[in-house]
Amino acid sequence: MNWKVENESSLPDVAAEISKFIPRKGIVLFDAEMGAGKTTLIRSLLSILTFEEFQGSPTYSLVNEYASAQNTPIYHFDLYRLNDEKELFDIGFEDYLSNDSLLFIEWPEKSYKFLPDNIYWVYIRVDDNNHRLIELKHDNRS
């Protein structure tokens, strides 16, 4: 699935479309450059999937927890400032993976080799006109 977003006000519409395709329990990885809109898109997704107010990016805490409308947890990870994989285990990352929940992961590179086979990717690229090109892919690595 692909979308072209010409301005930030269109992101909630794209988030509504993406929410139709992602699982309610599973892992969604967000791949984009700094400032491309990962956190903004996640904020829109959370407003669709939860009744809770967005807590902001978990850049320093590494993870924020939300309760979905179905009462299953949604965890929003921002792994940007992670120095090494050991820090993943310090925060109990493997417990989050075995939990019956939905995980949104920004900057997933340091966690990728620990992830299960069935994941979703949201790629956000910025074109020359400053439009966001958003692609959703399902990746079943097995």
pLDDT, tens digit (0-9, with 9 covering 90-100), for 9-50: 888 899 999 999 998 889 999 999 888 889 899 999 999 888
Distance CA 42, CA 90 (A): 24
Residue-range definition of the domain harbouring residue 54: 2-140
When divided into structural domains, the chain yields a total of 1
Mean pLDDT taken over the chain: 88
Residue among 118, 124, 114, 113 nearest 138 (CA): 118
**Residue 141 pLDDT class (50, 70, 90 cuts):** low
CATH of the domain at 53: 3.40.50.300
- Between CA 78 and CA 100 the distance in angstroms is 20
The C-alpha atoms of residue 126 and residue 35 are separated, in whole angstroms, by 10
> Token digits for 116?
């299960």
